[in-house]
Structure 1
């Protein structure tokens, strides 16, 4: 019998029953696109299955060279949190929207990021823009957070209006207000770009980012997932603890059997995965239970979507789960304060949900995802947050095992950004 390094799920009585895992349908095995990126993605998937099969046969998982310790105080220090925000979230291109959240001309997504109201739009020509969601007259917020359609952006305070590119187009009662030159009075622009079905925005208006260099060799694999062709079904929000406490739970499979015995562990093996990195970004690829049947099949008869459930993770906080399937769950984690973050759960579908049965299936998928994260993952991480102060006072460290390479890579990357920012500050000073 193959050892899976997974404890038996605990039997529970007199407890609310967890939501039943929705049925998953592979997409990657049905994709016949001749696009080079899609072909490269399919080849990468086949190679990834072989790697995970090796772990399954041996009862192993991907391991880092050693363990890593992280001082508990690094999760609590308000000054360090501020430096993280400056060195990371205010410095790198943030993945703030999926392209299908802005599915056509004259669409928008409004989102608050670190207290900054951000407005992302797609203009009548289909180009994506980002700007500060504040009227240039008196600073009122133009649109509340969410997605929608609008041909003009009209301020609710005094009715100044802008086009979807942010240019000032109308001033209410300009005859009595006085003339307002249109040039230079548009909304404050933020650098934005679109790659692989994801919209990236910089919070620094003066930033100049090379998105292709930022994504590196991961870019073509993301393009191969063809998320730009997906349909946005729903978005829900969850409050969550400190951003690093929250993200730590996304980057390992070690907890599947113990924390999710009746949910995730029913479809995924625990503590068994492949791991890859591309610069600051990474992918964890857990083994799925049908791999037990696929292990004896020839390679051309294995469906990658049945064997492996890869989670692509874009630094600093976007997780894409189910990219090889018909339904995709995207998690966007954004810090709010040193002790709180917010998570947007975005459900994408390969095909629009038209019939009642299709909508019911999409609802079930989104509800399962929401309840598992809220009632199992985040309920636990709030408990982690509650104990941080006492642990920090005792001078303790968290230890990340060799079987938790995703955590190690994430924290090393945060450290590297802080070190680079400190070096730049010393050079400038």
Structure 2
């Protein structure tokens, strides 16, 4: 079965849910301790066993498509520098001068063949090799190879640049993503145009992530933005390891799919149905017809906080000044929806968790994606090496 055949079957399943007034359900409800969102020891385990070990999205190919392009960023409190070398390959390293620990480049994008430290002017090639020491005769003799920038495991796949903060990480990205890599590659994201980014701040990273995994809240939390387009509390779920493709039927799904031959339904995403793709542990991708939003959740520095980068891409760049202005407006609108209607709620949830009013929260049968996600978090932080991974 081909990719579009699979998508077509998922669209058909969403249509059936709409017609029957049902949704994709788990076998029962599931309780999660409130401490999972507040406890510092549990948070530390999440950081050490998940975020400091697994491959993480660091950049999109579209953000730095040309030789010499770079992106400087903070990833899990670590200053990271990602570069594209002259041969087109990518490199990741700590954005830290090997002389006295100075940050080399401020956060942002640029293009440079070399990086000069703003403190003492040591110079590095864009692959991290030390190529120049200021006034070397006075400084003293050193072996330059010992002072290259500290590298990090890095691979580019599916239009995304993946980095691990574990120097010994297994960067078999096909193994990590499974079928989700096929899903990403179907979109040929490496050919898309980078529009810009926005940043928002919210509660515990799992509270933020929970919102991407269910549409149960659409009617109550998004009455004027999402709910007019999309049914509330009707979802479908497909898992690839810990990653999910979550389907959301539009209110016009019957009309839209009814006008198309059944064998073509899988070729018409956004025409009657949408998907949110979540990549464990901290990425959500929403391919919308106007623009695509990639949400990158950065936990911490304490359990009650996260910083989220919203990265926006489109198949093509702006056609003219008016189109460019419309893109800016769309990015602002999507930022505001997530910030006010989702993260605003999340901050209140965090306050409720910390109050001690309840020892646990409950995910319903209809919140199947959330149940699956929390089981995977527990799987990764577990001390049991024989524990089997969750099954959707």
TM-score scaled by length of structure 1: 0.86
1:271 to 233, 248, 251: 233
* Aligned counterparts of 2:18 and 2:231: Cα–Cα separation in 1: 9
Matched, 1:385 2:350: yes
User: By how many angstroms is 1:372 displaced?
Assistant: 0.4
Matched, 1:154 2:116: yes
User: By how many angstroms is 1:184 displaced?
Assistant: 2.4
State the match for 2:389 in structure 1.
none
Q: Secondary structure at 1:272's aligned position in 2?
A: coil
Q: For the Cα contact (< 8 Å) 2:124–2:132, is it kept in 1?
A: yes
Deviations 1:206-261 (A, max 9, x none): 22331110011221111001111111110111111111111111111100111000
Taking the TM superposition and a 5 Å limit, the aligned residue runs for 1:338-377 are 338-377=303-342
Matched, 1:55 2:22: no
Q: For the Cα contact (< 8 Å) 2:158–2:189, is it kept in 1?
A: yes
State the match for 1:310 in structure 2.
275
1:226 to 179, 188, 191: 188
State the match for 1:169 in structure 2.
131
Q: Secondary structure at 1:269's aligned position in 2?
A: coil
State the match for 1:101 in structure 2.
63
* Aligned counterparts of 1:317 and 1:90: Cα–Cα separation in 2: 12
User: By how many angstroms is 1:326 displaced?
Assistant: 5.1
User: By how many angstroms is 1:121 displaced?
Assistant: 1.2
State the match for 1:212 in structure 2.
174
Taking the TM superposition and a 5 Å limit, the aligned residue runs for 1:80-99 are 80-99=42-61
Q: For the Cα contact (< 8 Å) 1:317–1:333, is it kept in 2?
A: yes
Q: Secondary structure at 1:309's aligned position in 2?
A: strand
Matched, 1:252 2:217: no
User: By how many angstroms is 1:51 displaced?
Assistant: 1.5
User: By how many angstroms is 1:301 displaced?
Assistant: 6.5
* Aligned counterparts of 1:395 and 1:290: Cα–Cα separation in 2: 39
Q: For the Cα contact (< 8 Å) 1:113–1:336, is it kept in 2?
A: no
Q: Secondary structure at 2:145's aligned position in 1?
A: coil
- Between Structure 1 and Structure 2, how many residues are aligned? 382
User: By how many angstroms is 1:295 displaced?
Assistant: 4.6
State the match for 1:397 in structure 2.
360
User: By how many angstroms is 1:205 displaced?
Assistant: 1.5
User: By how many angstroms is 1:125 displaced?
Assistant: 1.1
Q: Secondary structure at 1:147's aligned position in 2?
A: strand
* Aligned counterparts of 2:23 and 2:295: Cα–Cα separation in 1: 24
Q: Secondary structure at 1:183's aligned position in 2?
A: helix
Gaps of 5+ in 2: 386-392
* Aligned counterparts of 2:180 and 2:170: Cα–Cα separation in 1: 20
Q: Secondary structure at 1:84's aligned position in 2?
A: helix
User: By how many angstroms is 1:44 displaced?
Assistant: 2.7
Matched, 1:336 2:283: no
Matched, 1:261 2:238: no
Deviations 1:282-316 (A, max 9, x none): 11110112213125333256533211110111000
* Aligned counterparts of 2:223 and 2:96: Cα–Cα separation in 1: 46
Gaps of 5+ in 1: 1-38, 425-429
1:112 to 74, 85, 93: 74
* Aligned counterparts of 1:201 and 1:301: Cα–Cα separation in 2: 37
Q: 1:326 to 1:374 in 2, by over 3 A?
A: closer
Q: For the Cα contact (< 8 Å) 1:102–1:109, is it kept in 2?
A: yes
Q: 1:395 to 1:387 in 2, by over 3 A?
A: closer
Q: For the Cα contact (< 8 Å) 2:15–2:254, is it kept in 1?
A: no
* Aligned counterparts of 2:5 and 2:332: Cα–Cα separation in 1: 32
Q: 1:390 to 1:326 in 2, by over 3 A?
A: closer
State the match for 2:369 in structure 1.
406
Q: Secondary structure at 1:95's aligned position in 2?
A: strand
Q: For the Cα contact (< 8 Å) 1:283–1:313, is it kept in 2?
A: yes
* Aligned counterparts of 2:115 and 2:269: Cα–Cα separation in 1: 45
Q: Secondary structure at 2:375's aligned position in 1?
A: helix
Q: For the Cα contact (< 8 Å) 1:268–1:288, is it kept in 2?
A: yes
Q: For the Cα contact (< 8 Å) 1:171–1:180, is it kept in 2?
A: no
Q: For the Cα contact (< 8 Å) 2:257–2:271, is it kept in 1?
A: no
Taking the TM superposition and a 5 Å limit, the aligned residue runs for 1:7-86 are 40-86=2-48
TM-score scaled by length of structure 2: 0.94
Q: For the Cα contact (< 8 Å) 1:326–1:350, is it kept in 2?
A: no
User: By how many angstroms is 1:42 displaced?
Assistant: 2.7
